[in-house]
Amino acid sequence: MNGKIVMVTGATAGIGKMTALELARKGAHVVLVARNSQKADDVVAWIKQETGNDNVEALIGDLSSIEQTRGVAEAFKAKYNRLDVLVNNAGVIMFSYSETVDGFETTFGLNHLVGYFYLTHLLLDELKASAPARIVVVSSDAHYGGKINFDDLNLKDDYSSFKAYGQSKLMNVMFTYELARRLEGTGVTVNALHPGGVATNFGATNNNLNWFFRAVKRLTNPFLISEMDGAQTSIYLASSPEVEGITGQYFAKSKAKKSSGLSYDVDVQKRLWAVSEGLLGISEPVTE
């Protein structure tokens, strides 16, 4: 990974933090994306100290906001004209209905529409310029229970935190498959993954975190894998020569596996793509 430029979103905690650490340890120039500048500064300093790699920096922005996501991409482009690896990792689960500044349900807005789809769109030219380049999409096996409600993508009429999360993770997988098809011949690969059941603070900063989830976390955390173990498939897809040229796959434990049956529906993939472009006001195609 020496000399390669890598962006990792949601990199101040959990598997994103461990992914950034290990890619820096492998010699990559790592650009973290985070909302909180103090946390970002602390993590950058920690990674530098742990790895001896000074090529670690942070860009600050809320990836649930269209404007701030555009700002992150513009700040990156002002400094770099290439991007070897993009790790779409930032995610959230909300225990009551809330909306982003742009009016999207928060889980949908961050986990798919803006944080993954739009950021990737904004950085595609830099990824293509770096071919062979890679896009890593952190999804979850929660997608197996997911369905996409095109009549109410915000789930405003029938909100459930787990329904919203499952829908967003299914969107991640379907986005991966459609994007892989659109990037054929460009030298840019894209794969999705399930990190495993990880003992992280995921959701802990959510002020709406309910008592049930707190109780479940206390009971299950002793049986879950560590953040570093959970990051292994992300690290593998970002750096391993074994997956060079492999695209449009779903991985767990660093091995390809079948995703849900619904995730392979090409018509639904294309519909999700078109709807996502429309909601973001993208008039030009995201890819040729």
Active site residues: 165
280 SS3 class: helix
The span from the CA of 12 to the CA of 218, in Å, is: 22
The span from the CA of 63 to the CA of 61, in Å, is: 6
Q: For tokens 């959701």, what's the residue?
A: 203
155 SS3 class: coil
The span from the CA of 283 to the CA of 286, in Å, is: 9
> Residue 268 carries which side chain, given as an amino acid letter?
V
User: How far, in whole angstroms, is CA 79 from its chain's centroid?
Assistant: 22
Nearest residue to 110 (alpha-carbon basis) of 173, 181, 164: 164
